Amino acid sequence: MAGRGVDIIPGGPRPECVVFEEVKDHILKETLHFIDQGVSLLKEHGASKDWPADRQGSLNQTKDTIIHQESTMTRMWGDYARASIELDANRSSEIMENIKQQEQALQKSLETYVSFIEERSHYIKKELEDYSSKDGKPAIQQKTKALIDANDIASQGSRTIGQIVLDQTQLFLKWLERHMEVRDLGGLHVLPAGV
């Protein structure tokens, strides 16, 4: 009940920035599956080599950067929501400009991450081809060929990284619009700090 110690969040809880998961689900899903299957097959036959440590380190560092950027974006959305609720147009405008800059930085980090995953995929493909040609057993050759062919024809999704990042911000802005509409209907106690 509003005003009696119960916080009501008009429009539901504020969304969080989850572009990393979206990119993995919509752009990298088949490639990540191929890498997992390829590594499993190579390990099963004792032929797996580790991806170079410096490349793995760069991939992990990029992932950490993305997670930090997502957290920053979520925080910025909260700042923008508070400024909007307080009707501070100058602050809202400044924060939205920062959000747009953060979107660009996040998109660049995601593109770097995708390029590392594609590089890893090519590394696994080469390992599979090398192992298949050295092993010479028809069953192994068929298995590796089927895995490589499936990866080559797999659809990578139609959404781009830029579209995914933009969609996340649009999701937040739609939430904020609903939040403001419900608040403007009256009768709800809204605390800006709880946004």
pLDDT in tens, 138-175: 777 788 778 777 776 555 556 789 999 999 999 999 98
Looking at residues 52-56, what average pLDDT do you find? 92
What pLDDT does residue 1 have?
43
Long-range Cβ pairs for the range 152-159 (8 Å, 24+) = 154/30, 154/31, 154/33, 154/34, 155/30, 156/27, 156/28, 156/30, 156/31, 157/26, 157/27, 157/29, 159/22, 159/26, 159/27
Contact 159, 27 (CB under 8 A): yes
What pLDDT does residue 10 have?
55
**Which is higher by pLDDT, 141 or 96?**
96
- Which range among 45-49, 50-54, 111-115, 191-195 has the greatest average pLDDT? 111-115
pLDDT tens for each residue of 118-144? 999 999 989 888 888 887 777 777 887
pLDDT at 75 over 90: yes
- The pTM (predicted TM-score) of the whole model is 0.81
Residue spans of the domains in the chain: they are 19-35+51-185
